[in-house]
Structure 1
């Protein structure tokens, strides 16, 4: 499966704990990555500065579903299921 151009669910819905250029502390779930353009394209795609966690993500039906909306739902659910418990 190929990424859907302009989806960006993985760049918004999930948290990223590793540093991102412009976001040295990473990014919380539900926050747009500062490296997204207005049309939801990654400014770092294919560049060395792109975090390893981002490079390692591979589009799949299980992660992306059949639409951008479904991708956001799936990834938000995965984020909730894997987030550390708060006291």
Structure 2
């Protein structure tokens, strides 16, 4: 599955405990990553400073669903379960 351009759910819903440029302590769940632009695109995409956890995330139908809203719902649920 290809990532839906402008979704951004994976940059908002989950917590990230590793360093993010501009967010040295990571980010809590539900907080928009500082590196997510106004069009919900990652400003670090393709750059070496992009966190490893972000690099390793692979979109899939079970997580991302058919819509951006479903992706957000699924990722919120997964975050709450972990």
Partners of 2:65 and 2:8 in 1: CA distance = 13
Partners of 1:28 and 1:62 in 2: CA distance = 23
> Structure 1 length normalisation: TM-score?
0.93
Structure 1 residue 62, shift from structure 2 partner? 0.9
Q: Show the counterpart of 2:32.
A: 32
Q: CA RMSD in A?
A: 0.4
> Structure 2 length normalisation: TM-score?
0.99
The list of structure 1 runs, each at least 4 consecutive aligned residues, that deviate by more than 4 angstroms after superposition, is: none
Partners of 1:58 and 1:22 in 2: CA distance = 23
Show the 5 A alignment for 1:1-87.
Answer: 1-82=1-82
Which has more radius of gyration? 1
Equivalences, count: 82
Question: Tell me, which stretches of 5 or more residues in structure 2 are unaligned?
Answer: none
